[in-house]
Every structure is written in structure tokens, then in C-alpha cells.
Amino acid sequence: MRVRKNACLWSAPPAYSGRGRPPKHGQKMRLNDPTTWLQANTEIEIDEHPDLGKVRVKQWIDLHFYRAPGQKVNLILVERMKPMSNGQPFPPLWLAWVGERTLPLEIVWFKYLRRFGVDHWYRFAKQRLHWTLPNLRTPEQSERWSDLMPLMSWQLWLARDLVIENRLPWQSANINLTPGRVAQSMFSLLVDIGTPTKIPKHRGKSPGWEKGRVRTKAPCYPTVKKRVSRRKKSSRLAI
């Protein structure tokens, strides 16, 4: 996970002296103040990264946040050595790793770059595939609906070379179709494929509810209301 650049972390507490409460925190490390940084446990330099150029990576082991002294994290600092076009250095990237085992430092920081693709997929699933639109009643229905999201994504990925782009008047032509453009152009492909479902019945009077079939009322759950509890005013007058 990413850590904000002005966060503070603490090292492991010193040994118990035998008096008072045992300490929970050690030395404080402010990320925006290099004078408070501890000695890094590991430091490597990657000479030529294909996208980022020369990169320096540092790692601090067994740190913790103030509110969670029992949860150890590994702090990782990623610095791009090549400056930006205006001559200013790139802002540092602070990451925190939480887990029973740590991946090698050469690849653990690079895994964070996959987050951008994952976040875009979640946005696409919620907006275009309507992941959160239906109001399902049971957890089993929600899980079954969620299982369809990756399947629909794979179908769009496999159909990107089979569909003919059907863009809107204000959209520009695109050679490499995005998943949204593929979903927009799937109608012609679905017509050619067909469907195994039965033909819809003709419009007419509904036969109604079958005789002898028991009606069950849908379960009703109490509404959970959260409110701020205000302090009750005392009936006594101040003297």
C-alpha cells in the first residue's frame, strides 16, 4: 500500500527497564524530514529500468504506525534518479509492505505499479458492467453476480478482434479498442452468435399465480440507524 509523504512511523521499542509501563514505540521517523530517518536495512540501485530509468530503492524493516504498535510493516522508498524535464527531482514514492514473508526488494516495489490497472478494472466493472447496480437479496446472489465480472471482462478481451467498431458521432476512431469500446460494439457480434434461450412468448393475458402454490413473504430486516449521541442536559440548576 502507498503511504503519504508526511506520515510518521516508529521503530521497535527498546528493552524494558523494569519500571513503569513497557514502552510501545521506539525512535520516530518522519518521512518528510530526512534528518529523522533511520538507517535503512537494505538499499539497492537499478541501473536501467525500461520505463523509469535509474531507480534507487531503500527498505526499513519492522516499523509500525502509532495507532498499531503490534502490526509490523516494512517501509520502502522508491526514488527516480533522473530529474524531470524542468530539472526538479521526482517526488519520492513511499510504500508499506504487510505480510508474513517479504518478496525480494528488486521486485516487491514493482508490484505496486500493477495497482493502476487493477483500479481501472474496478472502475470499469462498477460503471460499465454495472457491478454495484442490482440490489441483490442474499450473499449467494451477490457472490454469483460478482463471479460474472471477470467472465465478462474475458469475453470483451477475446472479442476485441472480432467486433466492428460502432463509435458515437463525437468519438474518434481507435485502432486498439478499449474494453468500453468493445462493449459498445458487441451488439452485432451477439446477433451473429445467437442465444440458446427460448423465444419470448407473445404478449397476452398472464395465467396468474398457480392454484395451491404457497406464497412466502420476503424477509424483512430492521433498519440500522446511526446517530450521534448527545450529552443529556442536567436538570439541576448551577448554583
How far apart CA 171 and CA 168 sit, in angstroms, is: 5
Q: Please state, in angstroms and rounded to a whole number, the distance separating the CA atoms of residues 193 and 202.
A: 23
- Measured CA to CA, the distance from residue 94 to residue 5 in angstroms comes to 7
pLDDT over threshold 90, residue 140 = yes
pLDDT, the chain, mean: 87
pLDDT at residue 147 above 90? Answer: yes
Cβ neighbour number for residue 155 with a 10 Å cutoff: 15
Closest by CA to 129, choosing from 174, 184, 79, is 184
Give the separation between CA 126 and CA 132, rounded to whole angstroms. Answer: 6
Per-residue DSSP letters for 115-184?
A: HHHHHHHHHHHHHTS-TT-S--SSHHHHHHHHHHHHHHHHHHHHTTTTSPP---TTSPP-SS--HHHHHH
Split at pLDDT 50, 70, 90, the class of 236 is low
For the chain, the structural domain boundaries read 8-113, 128-193
Backbone torsions φ then ψ of 181, nearest 5 degrees: -65, -35
Are the C-beta atoms of 179 and 156 separated by less than 8 Å? yes
Q: Residue 235's pLDDT is what?
A: 56
pTM comes to 0.59
234 falls in which pLDDT band (50, 70, 90)?
low
Q: What is the pLDDT of residues 192-216, one digit of tens each?
A: 888 888 877 777 777 788 888 898 8
The whole-number pLDDT of residue 237 equals 52
* pLDDT score for 64: 94
Residue 95 C-alpha cell reads as 510504500
**pLDDT tens figures, 56-77:** 999 999 999 999 999 999 999 9
Task: Among 56-65, 108-117, 147-156, name the one with the lowest average pLDDT.
Answer: 108-117
What is the distance between the alpha carbons of residues 181 and 174, in angstroms, rounded to a whole number?
A: 9
Contact present, 148 and 131 (Cβ < 8 Å): no
pLDDT, residue 157, reads 92
